[in-house]
């Protein structure tokens, strides 16, 4: 059974909601599909805040410079300029829509985080910024009568006709049966793939299905080797890896080893405020040196009332495990957190597959380069979600919704009789391999062994989700093997230096292997 709408948005995080609101401005009908409840996304779990130029001692050039430094030479300067200049406009718009950022005496509170040269991080309810983004954007989207949010509607594949994306196949949450939905354009906003790893700060929904669907449909993927590991996830046995935000170190938190010694002075002059990739590797090195499974984040020099007010969710969560963040050093270790790579897009969210747009963590716009600057992710979703919505509406202004039943499924996405649920055994095996062989520190032998195991897994009869999961793992490992240097979130122990000849982007496309591009903007790259 097929349906029609003007536009389809997959995902209800900050990028998906902002794109939907933009599309609805002209009265277009927008179907928002999400595989869980509407509020369940990576956005919901963002604690640290959103970086934006609003204070008198800050400017867009400083924010741009900080982003470029963190990106280790792979940021697209034009993409970064777009982010930091338009970000202020869209944050002010959110404030007008009623988002509740933390204030003191009526003035916005600006926090400090790693690798930022100014205090430019806005927070909401201390450490629940992402949840406040989702709340305010869902409320704003709810005011648009043409936006239809459908939770628990798992999208399974893109529908392609004559090389153009014309719709999606999804599982109807009521009928529990597959349905086809056709539209002028599809905007992919499904977030990242942190669940590829055994230890992650990401929610269960972050399995990267959107990336895999786009890849199988023929879209180009870029920079998949660059995965960011958050340095400080709470590390307790039989407990989920709860994120301890960057802002805790920004407010004065200190990293110590099992002997109570501060160790970051031995690794980087920026200490605990060094970029995330450096802090994560430093923690791994210190754990190996001391023979331990974690280190400790020490907040005990700060006032308890301040900590309880500044980090209420973290304070309460740690308390459930018998830890007082004002009195107890907190056991932490790195966990996968963010994918810098993804669907290759231009600055307006256009993928290399006509009819398919994308925004947020599912994409690679060139904003983050080899390593994302802390608290730039919510801003990216907001800015490029709006831009993708605007471009999709403009590009398709003369289009009509294609006739139902004309599309064809793509390889590996519309499976036969094996269902869509991910195999627990496949998921556990892939996550373990990725953590052990394609993790924070990599080398040729471990990556080749990982790829061999992924090939063995892929040779079996897999469900749609399982095949997507294994495919993404192969993309990350293949790109990591291809890049014979260390840069940003990608560290090769056998190629520990950064080299100018590798200042290129990895590009992967179905059945064509890996190529390189000097620029992320694919129109420019193809013209060279």
Point out the residues that are catalytic. 276
Which stretch of DSSP H or E encloses residue 281? helix 276-290
Q: In what order do the strands lie in the sheet with 164-171?
A: 2-4, 178-182, 164-171, 154-161
Token pair of 160 as six digits: 């392609």
Cα angle for residues 120, 121, 123 (degrees, 5° grid): 145
The whole-angstrom separation of Cα 26 and Cα 145 is: 12
Q: What is the DSSP letter of 423?
A: P
Nearest residue to 351 (alpha-carbon basis) of 217, 236, 455: 217
CA-only gyration radius of the chain, Å = 22
Q: Which residues contact 249 (CB under 8 A, 6 or more apart)?
A: 113, 114, 232, 255, 272, 273, 297
Look at residues 45, 307, 464 and name the one whose alpha carbon lies nearest to residue 472.
Answer: 464
Look at strands 50-51 and 121-122 and give their pairing. antiparallel
**Burial class (CB within 10 angstroms; exposed 0-12, middle 13-18, buried 19+) of 301:** exposed
> 255 - beta bridge partners?
297
β-partners of residue 364 are 344
Instruction: Tell me the β-bridge partners of 515.
Output: 507
343: phi then psi, degrees, rounded to nearest 5: -65, 125
Q: Which residues contact 524 (CB under 8 A, 6 or more apart)?
A: none
């Amino acid at each position: 059974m097929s349906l029609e709408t003007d536009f389809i948005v997959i995902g209800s995080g900050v990028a998906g909601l902002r794109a939907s609101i933009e599309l609805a401005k002209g009265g277009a009908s927008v179907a928002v599909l999400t595989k869980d409840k509407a509020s369940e996304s990576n956005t919901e779990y963002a604690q640290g805040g959103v970086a934006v130029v609003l204070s008198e001692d800050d400017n867009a050039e400083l924010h741009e410079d900080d982003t470029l430094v963190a990106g280790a030479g792979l940021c697209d300067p034009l993409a970064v300029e777009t982010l930091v200049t338009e970000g202020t406009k869209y944050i002010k718009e959110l404030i007008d829509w009623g988002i509740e950022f933390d204030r003191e005496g009526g003035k916005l509170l600006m926090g400090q985080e790693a690798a930022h040269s100014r205090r430019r991080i806005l927070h909401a309810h201390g450490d629940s910024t992402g949840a406040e983004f989702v709340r305010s954007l869902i409320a704003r989207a709810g005011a648009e009568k043409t936006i239809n949010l459908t939770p628990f509607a798992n999208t399974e594949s893109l529908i392609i006709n004559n090389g153009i994306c014309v719709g999606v196949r999804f599982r109807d949450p009521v009928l529990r049966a597959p349905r086809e939905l056709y539209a002028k354009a599809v905007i992919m906003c499904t977030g990242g793939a942190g669940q590829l790893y055994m230890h992650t700060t990401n929610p269960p929904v972050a399995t990267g299905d959107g990336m895999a669907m786009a890849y199988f449909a023929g879209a180009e993927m870029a920079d998949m080797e660059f995965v960011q590991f958050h340095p400080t996830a709470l590390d307790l046995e039989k407990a989920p890896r709860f994120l301890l935000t960057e802002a805790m170190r920004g407010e004065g938190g200190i990293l110590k080893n099992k002997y109570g010694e501060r160790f970051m002075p031995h690794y980087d002059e920026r200490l605990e405020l060094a970029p995330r990739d450096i802090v994560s590797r430093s923690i791994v090195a210190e754990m190996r040196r001391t023979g331990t499974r974690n280190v400790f984040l020490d907040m005990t020099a700060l006032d308890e009332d301040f900590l309880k007010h500044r980090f209420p969710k973290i304070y309460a969560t740690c308390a459930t495990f018998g830890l007082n963040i004002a009195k107890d050093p907190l056991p932490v270790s790195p966990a996968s957190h963010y994918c810098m790579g993804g669907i290759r897009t231009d600055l307006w969210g256009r993928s290399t597959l006509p009819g398919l747009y994308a925004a947020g963590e599912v994409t690679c716009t060139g904003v983050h380069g080899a390593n994302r600057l802390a608290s730039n992710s919510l801003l990216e979703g907001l800015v490029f979600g709006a831009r993708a919505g605007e471009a999709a509406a403009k590009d398709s202004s003369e289009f009509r919704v294609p006739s139902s039943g004309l599309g064809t499924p793509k390889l590996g996405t519309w499976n036969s009789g094996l269902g869509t649920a991910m195999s627990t055994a496949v998921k556990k095996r892939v996550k373990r391999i990725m953590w052990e062989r394609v993790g924070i520190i990599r080398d040729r032998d471990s990556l080749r062994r990982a790829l061999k195991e992924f090939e063995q897994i892929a040779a079996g009869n897999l469900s749609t989700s399982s095949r997507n999961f294994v495919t993404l793992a192969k993309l990350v490992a293949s790109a990591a093997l291809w890049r014979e240097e260390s840069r940003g979130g990608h560290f090769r122990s056998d190629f520990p230096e950064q080299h100018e000849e590798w200042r290129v982007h990895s590009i992967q496309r179905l059945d064509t292997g890996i190529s390189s591009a000097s620029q992320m903007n694919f129109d420019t790259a193809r013209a060279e």
